[in-house]
Chain A
């Protein structure tokens, strides 16, 4: 909790975020959350701490809105999340939070009634933005291999949803203390009457954050948890459909040369092709399932990270005091 009543949300430390090598940038730029894809070619480990935790929602928007003071200076229009800023601004008397997404209009549906719960909610239109290193993501990974540095054997490599290595999830500590999250250097005041946290955009537009981080190759990512889940379900249905209507009928074929009568010579090339088709169809069904699993894992990963962030922000709130 800041002196201004803003609740601070932090990224999962040890995963990404405000590490020592980005502090300077944070000094100059808005605080942002970076996505580090553990499945890119280098792996999270080489990124000094593994995959980053994406901001599942505009940080700073958790907690009690009723305690917020008019940070943004835009009046009581609500709480404006700020993509990539890391610290959102809480509006006065907000009843609703304007989410920060690609459009900034969708909003975090769950927040109006779920402040402090950290949930993206399941409401349609939920969205969140988070910056990511532009070269980091590598697609959807095999969930079972969702560790930095591993090479997926199948499925999309998942864009790092910030799923942290289980051993590196730290307990958020008060900035400036010994371990855990490195001290976050907050830019000097650039918002009138504010805590010194620069808010790239008070309007909740993700585009602003993108602009601020563009120089670092950071880009904004927008995803809908629900749609991601639906996408996974879609592929699962495709896998089942393909298996039932393609792989199985093909697999059931077992011709012999006798079946070709006088055209026996035609059997061999047909059988060769049939065997290839059997393998392809089996592989395809498995691949579609793997894609589904990867997407499902990704959506779960987002949710998990969000929950982790929520928990972390709660602890920060408890300990208070990010220096400003």
Chain B
């Protein structure tokens, strides 16, 4: 009897993606800083324009209002960035070694154990062809060999399932990091693009765009990536469903969670003949990590000189 269980992934080395995440965040921070610098540089002109536009006692107030509105946008951008960075630090980063360690259990234990069982099963199968002992006892002995072989095969299947039991979560956890890196890296590129964009007479526009993008990243990170909603939860549910399915919980040969005894009372007539795998890697596992938030720069128009106009009841012109 030969049965197969689809094993999750190849056993390529898996490393912590924290350095990649940190790099992505660093790039994002640099991009935000570029936006801030560009906006501040542009804001000088806007402040002067505001001062020129509103004479008298209102002149200083107009400049202050103009700059204050710009600063609020910049601060919002940084606050959003910090939220994202803190979220990573506190919620995701602690799991940076989960994937690699689970994967190591998979490669160092379950893959190896599976490899060790194979020759044992093969050996038992070979013994079933012995002919140096015949007769009644030999017949009964030989009759037990298929049972032991079937038990080894099913055990081997369960070893593969156990391997999937750590490897699939490892892949999913790693995919969460991959997704974060992808998101942060993508946001960094976008924000960097904002920094080099000519915003004409829209001041602090770049930081406003960046803040909007970062806000979308934070929302997705908080509500999707960290909860699994719309991301990895479906694959995990599929994994758990398979791990708890009857094909796993109800052994065909290793019934009663016991290894079959090689005794006359052992029923040798009902050996499984099926080859249905006990576990199949959830298809969604491969796509987790490639997803990310669809971000845009939003519809903010930044700050204009007109926004610095006096708003008191007496009114400035």
Contact status of A263 and B105, CB under 8 A, knowing A155-B261, A222-B135, A276-B257: no
The answer to whether A259 touches B236, judged by C-beta atoms less than 8 angstroms apart, is: no
Once A139-B263, A231-B133 are accepted as A-B contacts, the answer to whether A238 and B123 lie under 8 Å apart by CB is yes
Measured between beta carbons, the chain A residues less than 8 angstroms from B165 are 266, 269-270, 273-274
List A residues 122-163 near B (Cβ within 8 Å).
130, 132-134, 136-140, 151-161
Shortest distance between the CB of A101 and any CB in chain B (Å): 9
Contact of B258 among A155, A156, A238, A279 (CB under 8 A): A279
A65 within 8 A of B: no
Q: Are A263 and B172 in contact (CB under 8 A)?
A: yes
A34-82: which have CB < 8 Å to B? 35, 37, 39-41
Chain B positions within 8 Å of A263 at CB level: 98, 169, 172-173, 232, 236
Given contacts A139-B143, A250-B109, contact A37 B136 (CB under 8 A): yes
Lowest 6 CB-CB distances: which A-B pairs, in order?
A159-B137, A221-B135, A137-B136, A261-B98, A139-B140, A283-B259
**In the complex, are the beta carbons of B137 and A221 less than 8 A apart?**
yes
Residues 260-300 of chain A: 1 if any B CB is under 8 Å from the residue's CB, otherwise 0?
11110110011001101101110110111011001100100
Smallest distance from the beta carbon of B309 to chain A beta carbons, Å? 50
Q: How far is the CB of B278 from chain A (nearest CB, A)?
A: 10
The closest CB in chain A to the CB of B136 belongs to A137
Q: Chain B's interface: helix, strand, loop or mixed, by majority?
A: helix
Is B254 located at the chain interface by the 8 A CB criterion?
A: yes
Output the least CB separation between B301 and chain A (Å): 39
The distance in angstroms between the C-alpha atoms of A259 and B243, with both chains bound, is 17
Q: For B155, give its contact among A222, A234, A277 (CB under 8 Å).
A: A277
12 A-B residue pairs with CB within 8 Å:
A134-B136, A137-B136, A139-B264, A159-B137, A159-B140, A160-B137, A221-B137, A260-B173, A262-B95, A273-B165, A280-B258, A294-B262
- Over the window 98-140 of chain B, the binary record of Cβ atoms lying under 8 Å from chain A Cβ atoms (1 yes, 0 no) is 1101100100010011001100100110010010111111111
Contact with A291, one of B98, B161, B262, B264 (Cβ below 8 angstroms): B262
Interface locus among A3-11, A171-179, A239-247, A316-324: A239-247
A237→B166 CA distance, assembly (Å): 30
Instruction: Please indicate the chain B residues that have their CB under 8 angstroms from the CB of A303 in the complex.
Output: none
Determine how close the nearest CB of chain B comes to the CB of A215; give it in whole angstroms.
17
Indicate if A219 sits at the interface (CB-CB under 8 A). Answer: yes
* B1 adjacent to chain A (CB < 8 Å): no
Asked, given contacts A139-B262, A262-B95, A263-B172, whether A280 binds B136 with beta carbons under 8 Å apart, the answer is: no
Q: Does B24 contact A (CB under 8 A)?
A: no
A156 in complex: contacting residue of B144, B244, B248, CB < 8 Å: B144
**Alpha-carbon gap, A223 to B130, bound state (A):** 11
Residues of B within 8 A of A189 (CB): none
CB contact list, A205-250 vs B, under 8 A = 219-224, 227-228, 231, 234, 238, 241-242, 245-246, 249-250
Give B46 Cβ to nearest chain A Cβ, in Å: 45
Task: State whether A156 and B263 are in contact (beta carbons under 8 Å apart), knowing that A227-B133, A231-B130, A284-B155 are contacts in the complex.
Answer: yes
Residues from chain A with a CB closer than 8 A to the CB of B94 are 261
Closest residue of chain B to A41, judged by CB? B264
Query: Nearest-CB distance from A5 to chain B (Å)?
Result: 31
**Does the CB pair B137–A139 fall under 8 Å?**
yes
| Number of chain B interface residues as a range | 35 or more
Binary A-proximity of B235-260 (CB < 8 A = 1, otherwise 0): 01001100110001000001001111
Query: Which chain A residue shows the least CB distance to B92?
Result: A262
Q: Are B236 and A223 in contact (CB under 8 A)?
A: no
Chain B residues within 8 Å of A, Cβ to Cβ: 92, 94-95, 98-99, 101-102, 105, 109, 112-113, 116-117, 120, 123-124, 127, 130, 132-141, 143-144, 148, 151-152, 155, 158-159, 161-162, 165-166, 168-169, 172-173, 176, 226, 228, 232, 236, 239-240, 243-244, 248, 254, 257-265
13 further interface pairs, Cβ-Cβ under 8 Å (given A132-B135, A140-B137, A249-B112): A35-B137, A140-B262, A156-B141, A231-B133, A246-B116, A262-B173, A269-B240, A273-B158, A280-B257, A280-B259, A281-B155, A288-B148, A298-B137
Cα-based distance from A294 to B101 in the complex (angstroms)? 42
Q: Report B-chain residues with C-beta under 8 Å of the C-beta of A262.
A: 92, 95, 98, 172-173, 176, 226, 228
Closest residue of chain B to A135, judged by CB?
A: B136
List, in ascending order, chain B residues with CB within 8 A of A130's CB: 135
CA distance A297 to B162 in the complex (A): 37
Interchain nearest-CB distance for A293 vs B (Å)? 11
Contact yes or no, A261 B173, CB < 8 A: yes
Does A116 count as interface, using CB distance less than 8 angstroms? no
Q: A156-B262, A265-B236 are in contact. Are A277 and B134 (CB under 8 A)?
A: no
A99 is an interface residue with CB less than 8 A from chain B? no
Tell me, rounded to whole Å, the shortest Cβ–Cβ distance linking B180 to chain A.
12
Instruction: Tell me if A223 and B144 are in contact (CB < 8 A).
Output: no
Assuming the contacts A261-B98, A270-B166, A280-B158, asked whether A159 and B136 have C-beta atoms less than 8 A apart, the reply is: yes
Contacting residues, chain B, for A164 (C-beta < 8 A):
none
| Residue A188 interfacial (CB < 8 Å) | no
* A253 located at the interface, meaning its Cβ lies under 8 Å from any Cβ of chain B in the complex: yes
Contact in complex: B109, A40 (CB < 8 Å): no
Interchain nearest-CB distance for A274 vs B (Å): 6
* B158: nearest chain-A partner, CB-CB: A277
The answer to whether A260 and B169 touch (CB under 8 A), given A159-B137, A222-B133, is: yes
Given contacts A259-B101, A263-B236, contact A159 B135 (CB under 8 A): yes
The reply to whether the CB of A187 lies closer than 8 angstroms to some CB of chain B is no
Contact partner of A223 (CB less than 8 A), chosen from B102, B134, B152, is: B134
Known contacts A273-B248, A283-B258; A222 and B141 CB within 8 A of each other? no
Q: Which of B155, B243, B260, B263 has the most CB of A within 10 A?
A: B263
